[in-house]
Chain A
Amino acid sequence: MSAPLYELDGVKRRYGNRTVLSIDQWQIAQGDFVALVGPNGAGKSTLLRLLNFIEPPSEGTLRYKGYAVGPRNAAPLALRREVTTVFQRPILLDRSVRANVAYGLRLRGQDRWPEKVQRALEQVGLANLAHRPARHLSGGEAQRVALARAIVLEPEVLLLDEPTANLDPYNARLIEEIVSALNRTRGTTIILVTHNIFQARRLARTVGLLLEGYLIEVGETERFFESPQDPRTAAFVRGEMIY
């Protein structure tokens, strides 16, 4: 088996003296599609910030392709730029749709961006809106622009933080399809945080349950839902967990 893409080793994240995340051991395989489920405040978004190297762990080591990121050594820019996140709320720049999608490429000083931007917009079905001000888009369109802005970077890892929570079924389905295709055809590693256990089951190959900062159980999707090992996972899967 090939070396894992991410390796978490005693990773903790504290705010003040409150520990909101504490993961003993976890490995994420390259090319996997992971769904992370768990109630509000479980630490899911915090974990994604660590995986995108936006914040360092307060303790422990987070390895990415063997490079160790810890409290005192931040990830180099080049590594951070292999990963990107689509958040629940599409926070678009107050510019044109095109400029939003081009933003990450410009940061990287890449020329040749007009064609790439055009292709990414076509992928999310918004090529006709390229010159619109991003402020004037509907919620679904805005989130698709946020997705285009991420995939145009051809990331190694795509993190998604409840990307369809605010969307109508049509837009939600569209985003699901694009993300799945990305994982299948390009082998992009996907880590999807979702409240929707049906979505997790539909899309992911691996599912993990996060509870109060702890990774309670991680496993292959079918097994996670059909024969959960932990009673809390069983309760969550049956929809009995109150949150």
Chain B
Amino acid sequence: MSISKGEHGTVRESLIQALHLILKADPALAEIVALTFRVSGIALLISAAVGIPLGAALGLRRFAGRRLLVSLLYTGMGFPPVVIGLIVYLLLSHNGPLGQWEAPFIPRLFTPSAMILAQTIISLPLVAGFTMAAVMGVDPLLRQQVLALGATQGQAVKAILSEARTGVIIALIAGFGSIISEVGAVMLVGGNIEHRTRVLTTAIVLETSKGNFELAMALGIILLGLSFLVNVALVYLQGRAIRE
């Protein structure tokens, strides 16, 4: 991205520059956007795959250790992402407990996988916590009613999640929002390496520090626009689910 820097870039100029970058399909920008979505998308998928069942179980079942788990979840929902980044950094660093191993499933520091790990840890509690709240808001008699209509236990859980779908979608939106906009953790564990681990937020930080305010702003606008599009898609999904 070699765009002239404006000393006092206005929002209007940034908007024009953002449009410029998008319209000419700037390859450097495309690379950054693609990585941003790959990292946050995979992290959200993992969070959903683990967090939705976990949230449903916490909302529907009473078991030993549930209170402790819920307290941990609440803590996780408000945990500073940069601290999670630091912990993952220490775990994965050369003489950290995980970094020492050479196992293939343990991500290496300064790779997209390390960023996915950190973002998963950030978004998982949000997805699970909001899912739990949504499930607990469903009429407790619904389970009895669908069982009486012949549902298996699994079908009953599915019906409850489907009734709680607005809340579950909000859980996904909150989880996605927490990581697509996050900068501290990805900076620490990813390192903002050009062509390898640079994402929109870390690029914004970099361009700002170089004084390229217009470009930074343009990237910010692109980030906003893209995350708006994702949310529109999720809301659309929710609307479609309601109509059968």
Contact = CB atoms under 8 A, between A and B. Distances in A.
Interface in B97-149: 139, 141-142, 144-149
Consensus secondary structure, chain B interface: helix
B244 A96 contact: yes
Contacts of B155: 107
Contacts of A84: 148-150
Given A93-B163, A94-B242, A96-B244, A103 B148 contact: no
Contacts of B146: 103, 107
A95 B142 contact: no
Interface in A51-79: 52, 54, 77
B159 A52 contact: no
A81 B148 CA distance: 8
Interface residues of B, number: 19
Interface string A142-153: 000000011001
B162 interface: yes
Nearest to B141: A91
Nearest to B243: A96
Contacts of A54: 144, 147-148
Sorting the interface of chain A by its residue count into under 10, 10 to 19, 20 to 34 or 35 or more gives: 20 to 34
B149 A150 contact: yes
Consensus secondary structure, chain A interface: mixed
B150 A107 contact: yes
A77 B152 contact: yes
B151 interface: yes
Contacts of B142: 91
A205 interface: no
13 contacts: A52-B147, A54-B148, A77-B152, A84-B148, A85-B145, A91-B139, A94-B242, A95-B244, A96-B244, A99-B244, A103-B149, A104-B150, A107-B151
**Leading 10 A-B pairs by shortest Cβ distance:** A81-B150, A85-B148, A104-B149, A91-B145, A54-B147, A99-B244, A107-B150, A52-B148, A91-B142, A91-B141
Interface of B: 139, 141-142, 144-152, 155, 159, 162-163, 242-244
